[in-house]
Amino acid sequence: MRSRVLTFITCLSAWWTAPTVAAEPAELPEVAHEDFEQGAERWQATDAQAWEVLPGKDGQGYGNTKQSEYKPPHRSPLNIALLKDVIVGDFVLEADVRSTVKDYGHRSMCLFFGYQDPANFYYVHFGKQMDDHANQIFIVDDAPRTKVSTKTTDGTPWDDAWHHVKIVRTVSDGTIAIYFDDMETPVMTAENKTFAWGQIGLGTFDDMGIWDNIQLRGTVVERK
Predicted confidence (pLDDT) per residue in 138-178, tens digit: 999 999 999 999 999 999 999 999 999 999 999 999 999 99
pLDDT at 224: 81
Please indicate, yes or no, if residue 94 is contained in any of the structural domains: yes
Which helix H or strand E contains 11, and what residues bound it? helix 2-15
Q: What is the largest distance, in Å, between two alpha-carbon atoms of the chain?
A: 74
- Number of structural domains in the chain: 1
Please indicate, yes or no, if residue 112 is contained in any of the structural domains: yes
Please indicate, yes or no, if residue 103 is contained in any of the structural domains: yes
**Apex CA 118: angle with CA 188 and CA 73, to 5°?**
105
Confidence of residue 43 (pLDDT cuts 50, 70, 90): very high
Give pLDDT tens digits for 46-93.
999 999 999 999 999 999 999 899 999 999 999 999 999 999 999 999
Please indicate, yes or no, if residue 10 is contained in any of the structural domains: no
Give pLDDT tens digits for 190-204.
999 999 999 999 999
Residue type for position 13: S
Give the closest residue to 212 by CA, choosing from 36, 75, 12.
Answer: 36
Residue 2 has pLDDT above 80, yes or no: no
Residue 188 has pLDDT above 70, yes or no: yes
Please indicate, yes or no, if residue 16 is contained in any of the structural domains: no
pLDDT at 27: 81
Domain that includes residue 96, residue range: 24-220
| 56-87 burial: b if 16+ Cβ within 10 Å, else e | bbeebbbbbeeebeeebeeebbbbbbbbeebb
Which helix H or strand E contains 189, and what residues bound it? strand 188-191
Please indicate, yes or no, if residue 209 is contained in any of the structural domains: yes
Please indicate, yes or no, if residue 158 is contained in any of the structural domains: yes
Give pLDDT tens digits for 4-38.
444 444 444 333 334 444 556 668 999 999 999 99
Please indicate, yes or no, if residue 182 is contained in any of the structural domains: yes
> Burial, 17: exposed, middle or buried (Cβ in 10 Å; 0-12, 13-18, 19+)?
exposed
Residue 164: CATH number of its domain: 2.60.120.560
- Are 78 and 66 contacting, i.e. CB atoms less than 8 angstroms apart? no
More confident residue, 224 or 147: 147
